[in-house]
Amino acid sequence: MLIVSWSVALLRRAARWILGGSAAPDQVNESRAGAVPGAVNEQTGLAARRLVRDPVCGMHVAEELSIPLRERGELVHFCSVACREKYVESAQRMAANG
């Protein structure tokens, strides 16, 4: 068990080194917590992305990749056209019922 856990830790370090990231995962998460959309993280060199939640399936998707819908002055984001259509259909059914 000790050898397996040591091997996993070594593989993680090697993968981080190969990918060019020297920051530990905790440091990356802390630096992204207060990130401004469009800003570049100085430690990783990656652009920060704002995630939005699809109200139909619950999937999180980057705001710039989402499919937006403005309804009654509110902007709602979806992961796919199918989820957007389900949302529109359910809203129409709710409006028809009362």
Q: Residue 13: its pLDDT value, please?
A: 85
As averages over each run of 10 residues, the pLDDT of the chain (98 residues) reads 82 82 48 51 67 93 92 91 93 78
Q: Residue 20: its pLDDT value, please?
A: 74
Give the domain range for residue 33: 1-48
What residues pair up with 51 in beta bridges, in sequence order?
A: 62
Q: Check residue 69 and report its DSSP letter.
A: E
Q: Are 28 and 44 in contact (CB under 8 A)?
A: yes
Look up the pTM and report it. Answer: 0.50
Q: Residue 54: its pLDDT value, please?
A: 94
Identify the CATH number of the domain in which residue 57 sits. Answer: 2.30.170
Question: How many domains, in total, are found in the chain?
Answer: 2
Do 38 and 67 lie in one domain? The reply is no
Q: Residue 21: its pLDDT value, please?
A: 54
Q: Residue 45: its pLDDT value, please?
A: 61
Q: CB under 8 Å to 36, separation ≥6 — which residues?
A: 48
